[in-house]
Amino acid sequence: MAEPLRVLVHGGGIGGLTLAVALAGSGHTVEVVELRDELDALGVGIIQPSNALHVMREIGVLDACLAAGFEWEVLTICDQAGATLAKIPQPRMDGVPASNGIPRPALAQVLGTAAVAAGVPIRFGTTIDALADDGAGVEVTLSDGSRARWDLVVGFDGIGSPLRTRLYGDRFTPEYTGFANWRVTVDRLPEIRGVVVSAGRTSTKALLTPITDELMYLAAVTAEEPDFRPDPARAHEQLRERLAGFGGPVAEALASVNTADGVVYSRISQVTVDAPWHVGRVVIAGDAAHASTPNLAQGAAMAVEDALVLARSLDAEEDVAAGIAAWEERRRSRAMFVQNLSRAILKEETGTATTPEEDELLKTGMPGAAHALVEPY
């Protein structure tokens, strides 16, 4: 790109802030609009696999992520009683650890601080009200009434992406899988030094993930009706009912959850945008384009890879259209591999019927995927 670009990022989540830091680092003018009033990322903790940590290194925040989180190397598989069935060392990319658990608010702070330090304004409590792409640029009106012209608008606005709806109507909407994820932060048990997955005798699965020296989170994947929502007063009891058959560290962690506060419930959905991830100079990326089930713990990793590759593609190509095309060419198959395999693993783990294509993918399995995903993105 001969001239620096003016880029508006819609959504200051994990992918949007990563893109902002990467673009500002190459001299582009970037602004982020974020609907929430502050960087108070909802949620509990997140696993940063090696490929995500590699992106963090490229944008200069690896040390900050590791300092705020809990680095780990070995995935442990247990039965429902807590007996160890397997220990699986996680592969790593050159120069970065295998994995890091981190509280979501801490990751939001790390990325937000880096964006501000790179000179990126973040407009909180703001969204796009109107946009018009005339082929040479995009005229955008924000909800605060301000108007400006941008070379590119990127929607990193999450699984419910309002920008996706603006571009495609209701052609691509989140599809509920029939399963939900319960998460709650508890004190880290000394023996939890990496992710521990316990498979239940029913479709229920429990995970323990260390996120700091002091903290870990307990997660449960359970089958739930589409309209089920936990009772705000007794979500902890409802979680306990679902994990009643689990022993070992899961039961120990659960015993410390004595209030509904802090129990986070998320329906597991995915979105497949079976069309180009851009219309003219407006792009969607991360969960907005390809949200997947969390079974490979790769959703945010795909979002940050999208962000870095988009920034690099824009730098490498002669114009915006070529940059977007090169980016999408590089990203689609990898993101779809993660989405399709994650969904197949969810089905396998929960005893749901799989398709022949999914059976083929399942031959790769989680260990195969981990090795594939430490290949360059």
Binding-site ranges for ligand FAD (CB under 6 A): 10-16, 33-36, 46-47, 52, 127, 156-158, 162, 181, 266, 286-288, 294, 297-301, 303
Nearer to ligand FAD by C-beta: 295 or 313? 295
- Quote the least distance from Cβ 259 to ligand FAD, whole Å: 20
Contacts 24+ apart (CB under 8 A), 238-243: 239/182, 239/184, 239/263, 242/182, 242/204, 243/204, 243/206
Nearer to ligand FAD by C-beta: 33 or 251? 33
Residue 74 and residue 191 in contact, taking contact as beta carbons nearer than 8 Å: no
Nearer to ligand FAD by C-beta: 127 or 364? 127
- Quote the least distance from Cβ 287 to ligand FAD, whole Å: 4
Nearer to ligand FAD by C-beta: 64 or 373? 373
Residue nearest to ligand FAD (CB): 13
What's the rounded Cα separation, in Å, for the pair 7 and 31?
7
- Quote the least distance from Cβ 369 to ligand FAD, whole Å: 13
Residue 21 and residue 30 in contact, taking contact as beta carbons nearer than 8 Å: no
Q: How far apart are the first and last CA of the chain?
A: 21
- Quote the least distance from Cβ 206 to ligand FAD, whole Å: 13
- Quote the least distance from Cβ 157 to ligand FAD, whole Å: 4
Nearer to ligand FAD by C-beta: 5 or 122? 122
CA 231 to chain centre: 26
Nearer to ligand FAD by C-beta: 160 or 276? 160
DSSP string, 97-147: -SEEEEEHHHHHHHHHHHHHHTT--EEET--EEEEEE-SS-EEEEETTS-E
**H-helix or E-strand spanning residue 330:** helix 320-349
- Quote the least distance from Cβ 200 to ligand FAD, whole Å: 17
